[in-house]
């Protein structure tokens, strides 16, 4: 079984400042990793995913994430945020050895202010 911990429930940030959202996971097998974004009253949209290869993954809207196997982390970053980045962000994992359910973290609410 897998579990996901998002270390911050809310992250306030000023416009044009950088942001980092932290995600740690626990699993007895190797995992695939995902970050999703949810804008208010909408469904989830995939930001990026790590399947294999380079540990630095680039996604949509200027976001990137780095997979660190030794620290079992997959932190999400953006060098300069916009007001439109205000949303909830979810980290998720699924096992690589078989088809498995996605396990989601509790989410991090990002609030960008001018």
Partner 1 sequence: DGGITQSPKYLFRKEGQNVTLSCEQNLNHDAMYWYRQDPGQGLRLIYYSQIVNDFQKGDIAEGYSVSREKKESFPLTVTSAQKNPTAFYLCASGLTGSSYNEQFFGPGTRLTVL
| C-beta separation of 91 from 6 below 8 A | yes
Determine, following the binding rule CB under 8 A, whether residue 9 of this chain makes contact with partner 1. Answer: yes
Q: How far apart are CA 73 and CA 9, in angstroms?
A: 16
Could you give the CA distance from residue 5 to residue 57 in angstroms, rounded to a whole number? 20
Mark the segment that binds partner 1 (CB under 8 A) among 18-26, 60-68, 79-87, 91-99.
Answer: 91-99
Instruction: Give the footprint of partner 1 on residues 19-78 (CB under 8 A).
Output: 32, 34, 36, 41-46, 49, 51
99 contacts partner 1 (rule: CB under 8 A): yes
**Cβ–Cβ under 8 Å, residues 12 and 80:** no
**Which stretches of the chain bind partner 1, using CB under 8 A?**
9, 32, 34, 36, 41-46, 49, 51, 90, 94, 96-102, 104-107
């Amino acid at each position: 079984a897998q579990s996901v911990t998002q270390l911050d429930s809310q992250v306030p940030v000023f416009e044009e400042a950088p942001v980092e959202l932290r995600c740690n996971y626990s699993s007895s097998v190797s995992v695939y990793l995902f970050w999703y974004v949810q804008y208010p009253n909408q469904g989830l949209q995939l930001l990026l995913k790590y399947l294999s290869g380079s540990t630095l993954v680039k996604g949509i809207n200027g976001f990137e994430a780095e997979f660190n196997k030794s620290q079992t982390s997959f932190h999400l970053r953006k060098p300069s945020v916009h007001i439109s980045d205000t949303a909830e962000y979810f980290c998720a994992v699924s096992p690589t050895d078989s088809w498995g359910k996605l396990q989601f973290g509790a989410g991090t609410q990002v609030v960008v202010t001018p």
